């Protein structure tokens, strides 16, 4: 596509010299990796330094960007749009040749129970297993080696990548994406201690319910409830290697980054953000719109909405940041307090003597 | 079942009004989710507040519970037992219709080596693989897509959920439960540094030994020993996404929560509790009955039994909690010390002047 | 092998009594587990205490070890070599009977796309899948249940253990080892927030590139790039349950221990060491030869090479260790500052009074 074609398609404004001589845009690339024929974008001011050196043919920038200092680079062309990153994604999708990831239809090397209820236009990869009385909705793709347990239900237009596992009876709604190695519905970690210090397994008889438009990362584990259900509400996005324990509830449109863990029976609100490696204790509630920063440990209820938390154990982010900043002064303070103590003793001695 | 039938079956005492008019118990539920026809339980005093509002038909309570303040709710019936939670589990199992999770017999789409030694009444799911010279005990269930390596041994009455992997030569005893995606016997992370800064792989020639009655969570990894064995003693319960490195020993009846990690050659005692996301350094020993709180980092031996630890780096819990409480005062203390310093200078000046 | 045969083979010197009467060496073992007929080694002085009690027949020691204090044990024989651990590994390999982990050739229960490009002497286990237009190099072993996506490329002499997954288009070079359950090429965790607080999936159109001689642990996840590639350079060793996010670059010969996580677009230098459960923020750069200690959280660039880091949030290790040491004095300091304050008030009162 030419620069003008792209700008027209995006509704953007072109700024630059020799636009008609510029090469066609044949690919998109990050600003530091772009070369001639590439379109790139500038959304984060942190990357502005690359404007002086990028070898891209054109850069998508915000209409609000001050181009004066960069406009003298005769070879660089700007396309000004409202949201450069969104515009970039549109071009990315348009220029990337789509490849088929899933094959059409039911592979003969899969095993589908005769009493499974199968919708239309389903893809089932080789060595996938659909259990007894399971149900799969229209247009859903079940990757190679996926195992769908007995009585499990999966809605329409879902994508399960290879080797994902859904245990018996779990219910997955529509347009859910589950990445490879994710395990949905394994037993909750529940054991009743016996007087002799050993444990008796508590039967885990509930299920996992996953609502529409959820995405679940690779090797993430979501345990079935002891009874009732572990419930992931619609629009939730979960990264890789996340642990969701039994009877947890995750509210709508919450995002959970990699290696975070949520202990049993905890309720996470809507529109929350849990960063990487966060740990959350069991049997607590986290209010809507809460942000929890990386590696933080939350051990009690968060009742007020829309606050950020940080630290181990976590506190409100502003408080915690003051504490962690003060921590760095600690060795100096120890020295100072010792010095003050000595000084006071001297003063006191002198004072008393008198 | 009627209230009386349940109470008789459990050996409990019924307290309440209009017991004969109460609906039959057809399900069990958590106290806040129970409705008419539900039996619930009260074990944790924290949930006592729900007694005033629960819509359950009956509640299992301890014989020691003081019912006076709740007895006026005409519609609520109490069944008093020694252990309400244990009683609840009995009713839960009895009322929950059991579904078949594993199919009977050897599925024709599995691959079993002709020289594998197979016990009686084994279930092998579709696409499972039993390697050369492997041995599987009576009544064991091997889920779909499980891979049992060459020379591996699995005892009787074990359950391996779909897509679990047991590497070659590993030995698993009886009544062991392994959840989906768990990997038993992968190579220990051992590399000898070479003078040029690169690494040479140290062959990992040992095995993993898992004793009776162990449960292993989904996507947990237990590495084989460099030589000898990584040993999980009987009754140990391991949650999801836990890492057990090469040559680790975990003592009897220890429980390890999700995302904890134990580094190479470390010995964990018996009856310990490791909470979620705990990290334990390599080549150390942890005494029996030790409790390690969530996200703590343990980097040296724990020699005294029965203590709790907390923090990063961890210290004895009581000490650590005092430290973390004091941390919150740190910004105030910095200000205070600065003020004291100024005050002392003033005093000192005045004092000296005189 | 006799003691003399081993010493000759290793080029070592034998010291001890009655060497000709010693039993043949038939196995190797750790110093505390060795018995008669065992060869062990002493590399770490920490284990020297075992020299007095080991039941090993012979011990590999460094030529630099001072044997005087141990030489009086008439039954213990020393073989002095330059590098006792390396020598031990040689003997270990020689004495351990090799077992076949992978079967020869293409198993008939695998599914290989007719247009896949297959090298010579490849092993493909039962229920493995090789996708459309995928390419596999000579002598590579693909374990049972592995799924190789469409257009994926795997080089020569690689080993993929059972149930590993390589997504479409990813490129893996030569002599790469991938353990069971590892997922290479799952979607990066990228979602564009919409004005209503919900998210739109950003298509993840890049790939993962893994260079020669990399090892990847069990259940580790490496996400494909949004565009371009997530790149693991040659010689990198990655342990179990590690998360590598989209567009991350890991430099040559860096080692990453279990449960560490690296967020999106971060660049890790060469020859770095990341210990267990380390977390690294996104969009930052870590200099070559950096060491990051266990559970540390890194949230900004590390520009100077060869330093160690520790803490949450991390600081240079020496500084951080001073801070964490001072932390333990914190409760005492709070008391002390309160006492000082009181004392000063008294002095001040007395002083003012006068």
At A267-291, the pLDDT tens digits run 999 999 999 999 999 999 999 999 9
Cβ of residue C261 closer than 8 Å to a chain A Cβ: yes
pLDDT exceeds cutoff 70 at C251: yes
Strands B183-186 and B221-223: parallel
Cβ of residue A179 closer than 8 Å to a chain C Cβ: yes
* Phi, psi (rounded to 5 degrees) for C101: -95, -35
pLDDT exceeds cutoff 80 at A39: yes
Nearest to C224 by CA among A127, A96, A232, A126: A96
| CB C305, CB C313: distance < 8 Å | no
Strand partners, A283: none
Average pLDDT over residues A331-350: 86
**Cα gap C100→C186, rounded to integer Å:** 31
Q: Closest partner residue to B169 among C99, C109, C145, by Cβ?
A: C99
Instruction: Grade residue A73 by pLDDT with cuts at 50, 70 and 90.
Output: low
Per mean pLDDT, which range of B85-89, B92-96, B199-203 is the poorest? Answer: B92-96
Average pLDDT over residues B245-266: 98
Average pLDDT over residues C52-80: 83
What end-to-end distance do the CA atoms of chain B give, in Å? Answer: 93
| CB A191, CB B247: distance < 8 Å | no
Element (H, E) at C347: helix C330-353
Count the neighbouring beta carbons within 10 Å of the beta carbon of residue B98: 8
Nearest to B226 by CA among C67, C43, A181: C43
Distant-in-sequence, close-in-space partners of A64: CB < 8 Å, separation ≥ 6: none
pLDDT at B74: 63
Residue B150 has what DSSP assignment? Answer: T
Instruction: Grade residue B220 by pLDDT with cuts at 50, 70 and 90.
Output: very high
**Cα gap C183→C71, rounded to integer Å:** 52
User: Which chain C residues touch A271 with a CB distance below 8 Å?
Assistant: 197
As for the ipTM of the complex, it is 0.90
pLDDT exceeds cutoff 80 at B75: no
Residue C222's SS3 state is strand
Structure tokens at C11: 């080029």
Contact A328 C336 (CB under 8 A): no
User: pTM for this structure?
Assistant: 0.91
CA distance C195 to chain B (A): 34
**Cα gap C230→C169, rounded to integer Å:** 12
- C27-28 sheet: strands from edge to edge: C13-15, C77-81, C58-62, C38-41, C27-28
pLDDT exceeds cutoff 70 at A18: yes
Q: Which chain C residue shows the shortest CA-CA distance from B263?
A: C276
Structure tokens at C157: 């002499």
Average pLDDT over residues B78-100: 88
| CB A314, CB A297: distance < 8 Å | yes
**Cα gap A206→C141, rounded to integer Å:** 40
| CB B230, CB B208: distance < 8 Å | yes
Chain C from 107 to 126: CB within 8 A of any A CB = 109, 111
* Better-predicted residue by pLDDT, A287 or B346: A287
C133, C233, C246, C289: the active-site residue: C246
pLDDT digits (tens, 9 = 90+) for A74-100: 678 999 999 998 899 889 888 877 788
Nearest to B185 by CA among C346, C217, A44: C217
Distant-in-sequence, close-in-space partners of B314: CB < 8 Å, separation ≥ 6: B292, B296, B297, B298, B299, B320
pLDDT digits (tens, 9 = 90+) for B139-149: 999 999 999 99
pLDDT exceeds cutoff 90 at C132: yes
Average pLDDT over residues B283-297: 98
Nearest to A275 by CA among A257, A288, A287, A262: A257
User: Which chain B residues touch A202 with a CB distance below 8 Å?
Assistant: 89
Nearest to B320 by CA among B282, B293, B286: B293
% of residues, chain B, pLDDT over 70: 97
Distance, C-alpha B79 to centroid of its chain: 30
Average pLDDT, chain A: 93
* Phi, psi (rounded to 5 degrees) for A141: -115, 120
Q: Where are the alpha helices (DSSP H) in chain B?
A: 3-10, 84-95, 317-327, 330-353
Cβ of residue C315 closer than 8 Å to a chain A Cβ: yes
Reported residue count of chain C is 354
| CB A157, CB A196: distance < 8 Å | no
Question: Residue holding tokens 């009181």?
Answer: C342
pLDDT digits (tens, 9 = 90+) for B122-144: 999 999 999 999 999 999 999 99
Structure tokens at C231: 């790149």
Residue A268's SS3 state is strand
Count the neighbouring beta carbons within 10 Å of the beta carbon of residue C44: 11
Distance, C-alpha C212 to centroid of its chain: 16
Contact C145 A127 (CB under 8 A): yes
- Omega within 30 of 0 (cis) for the link into A123: no
**Sign of the C-alpha dihedral, residues C293, C294, C296, C300?**
positive
| CB C204, CB A96: distance < 8 Å | no
C344 burial via Cβ count (<10 Å: 0-12, 13-18, 19+)? buried
Q: Closest partner residue to C258 among B189, B319, B337, by Cβ?
A: B189
* Better-predicted residue by pLDDT, B70 or B242: B242
Instruction: Grade residue C351 by pLDDT with cuts at 50, 70 and 90.
Output: low
User: Which chain B residues touch C255 with a CB distance below 8 Å?
Assistant: 191, 199
Chain A from 274 to 293: CB within 8 A of any C CB = 276-277
pLDDT exceeds cutoff 70 at B69: no
Per mean pLDDT, which range of A11-15, C92-96, C240-244, C334-338 is the poorest? Answer: C92-96
Strand partners, C310: C315
User: Which chain A residues touch C245 with a CB distance below 8 Å?
Assistant: 258
**Cα gap A52→B207, rounded to integer Å:** 57
pLDDT at B250: 98
pLDDT at A159: 98
Average pLDDT over residues A313-333: 92
CA distance B138 to chain C (A): 24
Strand partners, A245: none
Reported residue count of chain A is 354
């Amino acid at each position: 596509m030419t620069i003008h074609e792209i700008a027209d398609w995006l509704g953007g404004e072109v700024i630059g010299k020799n636009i008609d001589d510029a090469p066609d845009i044949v690919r998109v690339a990050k600003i530091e990796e772009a070369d001639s024929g590439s379109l790139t974008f500038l959304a984060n001011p942190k990357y502005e330094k690359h404007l002086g050196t990028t070898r891209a043919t054109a850069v998508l920038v915000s209409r609000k960007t001050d181009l004066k200092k960069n406009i003298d680079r005769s070879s660089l062309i700007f396309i000004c749009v409202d949201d450069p990153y969104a515009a970039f994604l549109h071009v990315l999708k348009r220029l990337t040749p789509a490849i088929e990831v899933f094959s059409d239809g039911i592979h003969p090397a899969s095993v589908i129970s005769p009493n499974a209820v199968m919708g239309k236009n389903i893809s089932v990869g080789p060595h996938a297993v659909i259990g007894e009385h399971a149900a799969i909705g229209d247009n859903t793709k079940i990757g190679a080696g996926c195992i769908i347990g007995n009585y499990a239900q999966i809605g329409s237009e879902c994508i399960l990548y290879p080797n994902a596992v859904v245990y018996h009876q779990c219910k997955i709604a529509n347009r859910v994406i589950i990445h490879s190695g994710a395990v949905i519905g394994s037993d909750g970690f529940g054991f009743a201690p016996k007087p002799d210090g050993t444990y008796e397994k508590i039967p885990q008889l509930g299920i996992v319910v996953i609502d529409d438009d959820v995405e679940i990362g690779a090797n993430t584990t979501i345990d079935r409830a002891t009874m009732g259900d572990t419930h992931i509400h619609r629009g939730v996005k979960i990264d890789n290697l996340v642990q969701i324990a039994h009877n947890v509830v995750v509210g709508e449109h919450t995002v959970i980054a990699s290696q975070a863990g949520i202990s049993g029976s905890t309720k996470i609100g809507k529109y929350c953000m849990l960063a990487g490696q966060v740990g959350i204790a069991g049997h607590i509630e986290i209010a809507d719109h809460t942000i929890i920063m990386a590696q933080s440990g939350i051990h009690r209820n968060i009742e007020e909405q829309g606050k950020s938390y940080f630290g181990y154990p976590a506190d409100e982010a502003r408080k915690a940041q003051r504490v962690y900043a003060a921590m760095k002064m600690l060795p100096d303070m120890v020295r100072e307090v010792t010095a003050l103590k000595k000084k006071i003793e001297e003063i006191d001695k002198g004072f008393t003597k008198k």
